[in-house]
Amino acid sequence: MTAVQYVSFDQLAPALDYVKDRTERFRFIAGGTDLVVQMRSGKTTAESLVDISRVGELRGIHEAKDCVIIGALSTIEDIRRSPLVERRFPALKEAADVFAAWQVRNLATLGGNVCNASPAADTALPLLVYRAKLIAFLGIHQREIPIEGFFRGPGKTCLEAGELVGQIILPMEASGGSAFLKLGKRQASILAVVNVAAYVGTKGGVVTEARLALGSVAPTPVRASKAEEFLVGKPAVDKNFTQAAALVDEDIKPITDVRAGAKYRVRMAKTLAFRALRLASARARRSSA
């Protein structure tokens, strides 16, 4: 790991101002649980690090009128321990539960996990099915990015140089149910072979809304739109979940790597999609009952 320049801020505006005129290669750093590892291995190079981990205004989980606003610097452990998240966005809580290990969860931030843009990112999937919006800052400008179009490839996002995700907004859901499932090669502290989040809304036993997102099966976390379309208007029964799950291969494109083979990943994407849809649907019934 090469020696780097380091500067730290405890407020957002000066940090944004500082990076405006940088000519060297710089990176924002928060928890560093991805970045430091990548720098040590030589996968990422940066000449300077801009530490925003102490920017208090970007940490915290707040309930607003029709949404919940999560500061991007909230740690995964913050998410995990938030009763609000547990009540309103259980799939995000479940993703935080199986995210790395305790020490990492204490450092890693939600914004960092999203911006690192790993195809396997655990929290990206619940954010996809909850249709999160990212509030990004660039200098004095601010914009809202729907998470759908945010990921562009492994480690790639639509952010511009110097742009920073400051908040993640989760719109309040109606009475639907949601779930997150992860398969790895051991029970904890593991990168996913396949991970899945699902949101299912039902009315009178019929699916009114279905959202399904899968990880580790494409260059980015993906929505399985064919499966979603299939389910809407159909009875929320196992047979339909099986058929919907079978359609996920239209939207995924897994590779073979050190963690698993592509064929196995396709099979597991279907298995986990089925289980997640079924679980989300059962929860939807429970919450509407």
Partner 1 sequence: MSRTVLEHEEEEANRLLNQWLHGNDFVVVGKSVARVDGLDKVLGKLKYMEDYFSKDMLFARIVKSEVSSAYLEKVDFTKAATIQGFVDGITAKDVTGQNQVGYFLLDQPAFADGVIRFRGEPVGLALAKTPEAAEEASRLVRLEHREKAAVFDPLEAIKSSVLVHEERKSNVAFTTKVRKGDAEKGFQESDVVVENTYRTGYQDHAPIEPEGAIAIPTPEGITVISCNQHPAFAQMIVARVLGCQQREVRTVQSAMGGSFGGKGEIGPTLSAQAAVAAHKLKKPVMLMYSREDSIASRPKREPSIIRYRTGATSDGRLKAIEADITLESGAYVTAGPIILLRATLHASGPYIVPHARVDGRLVYTNKVSIGAFRGFGNPEIHLAAESNLDELALKIAMDPVEIRLKNALTEGSATVTSQVLSDPVGLIETTKKVAKESGWYTKRKAYGKAVGDRARGIGVACAWHGVSTSGNAPDWSSGYIIIRNDGSVDSYSGLVEMGQGLTTTITQVVAEALGIEAGMVTVHMGTSDAPDAGATHASRGASVGTMGMLVAASQLRRRLDRMASKMLGCPEDQVVIRRGFAFHRRFKERKILWGDLVHECYNSGVELSATGYYFVPKERFDEEKGSGFAYPAFSYMTVVVEVEVDLKTGMVFVKRVWPGLAAGTIINPSVVVGQVRGAVIQGLGYALMEEVQTQNGKVLNQNFTDYLIPTVRDTPRIMKLVTVEEPWKDGPFGAKGMGELSLVAIAPAIANAVRHATGMRPKEFPLTPERVSNLLNEGETS
Spatial contact of 30 and 110, defined as CB atoms under 8 Å apart: no
Residue among 139, 146, 205, 261 that touches partner 1 (CB under 8 A)? 261
Spatial contact of 129 and 92, defined as CB atoms under 8 Å apart: no
Show the binding pattern over residues 101-140: x = contacts partner 1 (CB under 8 A), - = does not: x---------------------------------------
Residue among 22, 234, 259, 285 that touches partner 1 (CB under 8 A)? 259
Of 9-17, 23-31, 182-190, 224-232, the window that binds partner 1 (rule: CB under 8 A) is 182-190
Calculate ∠ Cα 231-120-254, nearest 5°.
Answer: 70
Of 140-148, 163-171, 183-191, 238-246, the window that binds partner 1 (rule: CB under 8 A) is 183-191
Choice between 135 and 268, CB closer to partner 1: 268
Site for partner 1 (CB under 8 A): how many residues? Answer: 23
Of 126-134, 135-143, 170-178, 261-269, the window that binds partner 1 (rule: CB under 8 A) is 261-269
- Measured between its terminal Cα atoms, the distance across the chain in Å is 56
Of 7-15, 44-52, 237-245, 253-261, the window that binds partner 1 (rule: CB under 8 A) is 253-261
- Closest CA relative to residue 151, chosen from 184, 177, 183, 120: 120
Residue among 60, 267, 282, 287 that touches partner 1 (CB under 8 A)? 267
| DSSP character at residue 32 | -
Show the binding pattern over residues 206-245: x = contacts partner 1 (CB under 8 A), - = does not: ----------------------------------------
- The DSSP code sequence of 166-218 is EEEEEEPP-S-EEEEEEE-SSSSS---SEEEEEEEEEETTEEEEEEEEEESSS
HSE on the CB side for 172, CA within 13 Å?
Answer: 11
Tell me: does residue 156 bind partner 1 (CB under 8 A).
no
Spatial contact of 149 and 255, defined as CB atoms under 8 Å apart: no
Strands 48-51 and 5-8: parallel
Closest CB 87 distance from partner 1, rounded Å: 26
- Closest CA relative to residue 93, chosen from 178, 168, 32: 178
Tell me: does residue 266 bind partner 1 (CB under 8 A).
no
Residue among 62, 185, 253, 286 that touches partner 1 (CB under 8 A)? 185
> Which residues have CB under 8 Å from 171's CB, separation 6+?
66, 67, 130, 131, 133
Choice between 36 and 191, CB closer to partner 1: 191
Residues that bind partner 1 (CB under 8 A): 1-3, 37, 101, 183, 185-191, 193, 258-261, 264, 267-268, 271-272
